[in-house]
Amino acid sequence: MTEKPVGLALMNGLLQWSPLLLVAFGLLAGIVVLLLWRVVGAGRRERRLLARIGEVLDRSALDQHRELLRDLHAGLERQTDRIGEHARADRELLQSGLAAASMQLSHSIEGLTRGVEGQLRTLSGQVNNRLDEGLRKTNDTFTNVMTRLATIDEAQKRIDGLSASVMSLQELLGDKRSRGAFGEVQLEALVRNALPPDAFVFQANLPNGLRADCLLELPPPTGRVAIDAKFPLENYRRMLDASLPQSDRKSALAAFRADVRRHVDAIADKYILPGVTADGAVMFLPAEAVFAELHASHSEIVAHAQSRRVWIVSPTTLMAVLNTARAVLKDVETRRHIHVIQDELGRLAQDFQRFDARMGALARHIEQAGKDVEEVHISSRKISARFQRIEAARPEGVEGEGGVPPKASALPEQ
């Protein structure tokens, strides 16, 4: 047995009860219409009643409304008068306040104007001072610049002169004789500045008929030391010239070594004379660069010179040699006058002994004078005490006030 759908059952129930529902709805609609008709009629009656009441009220209250309006008009006029008076008072108060505010604002503006003018004057003075200071500094700077420009111009002139001198020096050093003369002049200047005049001789003649550029007169056992100036510059320049081929530079290097060795041998043979000069001689190179090149890259040449008892020096090392020679001369001179120094020291010792004796006597006199001064001071104090007693009219032995004898002097009798 299958169940029927619920919706189908509900529709069947409604179809069975539909006539009754229609009758109920009709009755309900009629009741509603009746109620509405009664409400509408009651509203109409109420409006008619209100209209009649309004007419009655309008007739009876019209006079009251008119009186009320008159009172209201009079009150409004009085209120208007009061408002006008208050408005006039407020306007006068506002005008007086505006006048006071205007006056205060004027004073404030005047004070502000004066302050601004004072600040502007102060600022103008500061600006003027700064402008003056800036102008002064600018003038000083300009003056310094002009001075420095003048200095630069002077330096430029000196540089130009130095360039001309360098060119002249290059031309001078390009000739062998000129180089030799330059070396001799430099040697003479160094020796004259370092040694006393009796310690050297320039262009000194030797027993073998040769002439040394300089001969130092040193005390034994050193003796006479010959100095000869040599300046092997041509091959030195060529071996350092990077523009030349490598083969030419090597040839110049070999020639430079040969030149220096030849100079060393010539000095050893000419200026080392047994019994006449010292057992060594000095070869002076006027160029520090040549000297540095020899000792840095050609030690065999230096060793050969030392084996021949020839000492190679530059201007700097020659100054060291000359200073050593000057110290030796000074020591010899001191030794030569040692007896004079001893005699003077003896006399100085005697003078000091006499000074010591006289100083002792003076000390004793000063000590005795001190004692005498102390004794005189004691006597002076005693005399002063006696004068005080005399002024007080109290001789010795008389009692003072209160039966107390006067205080005796604590000073002993002298």
State residue 402's pLDDT score: 44
Give the residue, 350 or 38, on which the prediction is more confident.
350
Would you say residue 200 has pLDDT above 80? Answer: yes
Contact 314, 288 (CB under 8 A): yes
Give the strand order in the sheet containing 211-217.
200-205, 211-217, 224-229, 281-284, 310-313
Residue with tokens 């005490």: 385
Q: Where are the alpha helices (DSSP H) in 174-205?
A: 176-194
- What are the Cα distances from residue 160, in Å, to 164, 165, 167? 6, 8, 10
For 28-63, what is each residue's pLDDT tens digit? 666 766 767 766 666 676 667 666 656 655 555 556
Least confident of 44-48, 185-189, 206-210, 238-242: 44-48
Q: Which residues of 308-320 are buried (b: 16+ CB within 10 A; e: fewer)?
A: bebbbbbbebbee
Work out the pLDDT band at 77, boundaries 50, 70, 90.
confident
Cα distance between residue 179 and residue 285, in whole Å = 11
Work out the pLDDT band at 16, boundaries 50, 70, 90.
low
Would you say residue 19 has pLDDT above 70? Answer: no
Cα distance between residue 207 and residue 212, in whole Å = 11
Locate 353 and state its tokens: 């002994």
> 209 in the Ramachandran plot: left (φ > 0), alpha (ψ -120 to 50) or beta?
left
Residue with tokens 């006068």: 92
Q: What are phi and psi of 256, to 5 degrees?
A: -65, -45
Using CB atoms within 10 A of its CB, is residue 283 exposed (0-12), middle (13-18) or buried (19+)?
buried
Q: Is the peptide bond before 221 cis (omega within 30 degrees of 0)?
A: yes
Q: Where are the alpha helices (DSSP H) in 272-395?
A: 288-297, 299-307, 315-336, 338-391
State residue 304's pLDDT score: 93
Which of helix, strand or coil describes residue 233? coil
> 203 in the Ramachandran plot: left (φ > 0), alpha (ψ -120 to 50) or beta?
left
According to DSSP, the residues that pair with 202 across neighbouring strands are 214
DSSP secondary structure string, 13-48?
HHHHHHHHHHHHHHHHHHHHHHHHHHHHHHHHHHHH
Question: Is the pTM higher than 0.75?
Answer: no
Residue with tokens 């040839």: 251
**Rounded average pLDDT over 320-345:** 81
- What are the Cα distances from residue 103, in Å, to 97, 112, 114, 316? 10, 14, 16, 96
Cα distance between residue 231 and residue 315, in whole Å = 12
Which of helix, strand or coil describes residue 203? strand
Cα distance between residue 218 and residue 191, in whole Å = 13
Contact 287, 233 (CB under 8 A): yes
| Segment of 13-22, 227-236, 271-280, 348-357 carrying the highest mean pLDDT | 271-280
State residue 22's pLDDT score: 60
Three-class secondary structure assignment of 118-168: HHHHHHHHHHHHHHHHHHHHHHHHHHHHHHHHHHHHHHHHHHHHHHHHHHH
Q: Which residues contact 199 (CB under 8 A, 6 or more apart)?
A: 216, 217, 218, 325, 326, 329
For 218-233, what is each residue's pLDDT tens digit? 888 888 899 998 888 8
